[in-house]
Copies of this chain bind each other. A is one copy, B any other.
Amino acid sequence: MPRLPRPALETIAETFRALSEATRLGILQELKEGAKTVNTLVEAMELSQANVSKQLRVLFDAGFLAREQRGTQVFYSIKDKSVLKICELVCERLNKQALANLVNYSI
């Protein structure tokens, strides 16, 4: 298998980077229940509205989320379910490694 050129590796890295913050994983966890507005997420997560909007944008730009405006509200939802599968793999891995720590990882 020939090696990927640097730009391709960068693209892959960007996908991982979008998932490399606990706050954004928390948002995905919330959205797993279904579409939610920005304000709903702000209240659920105890973060500033500015920050939630910002992190939503990161996930959106990474292609994971869909955005639907209804009046003044904006509903975000998980558009690309492969993100859940990716998280699942990582969680399985952590669960295997950490039988001792009593946490069951699962987004």
B16 touches A20 (CB 8 A): yes
For A22, the chain B residues whose CB sits under 8 A away are: 6, 9-10, 12-13
The 8 Å CB contact of A105, one of B12, B32, B63, B86, is B12
- A25 in the interface, Cβ–Cβ < 8 Å? yes
For A72, the chain B residues whose CB sits under 8 A away are: none
- A43 in the interface, Cβ–Cβ < 8 Å? no
- A90 in the interface, Cβ–Cβ < 8 Å? yes
Considering the chains assembled together, what is the distance between the CA atoms of A25 and B12 in angstroms? 8
The 8 Å CB contact of A86, one of B4, B8, B86, is B86
- Known contacts A19-B16, A22-B9, A97-B63; decide if A89 and B91 are in contact (CB<8 Å): no
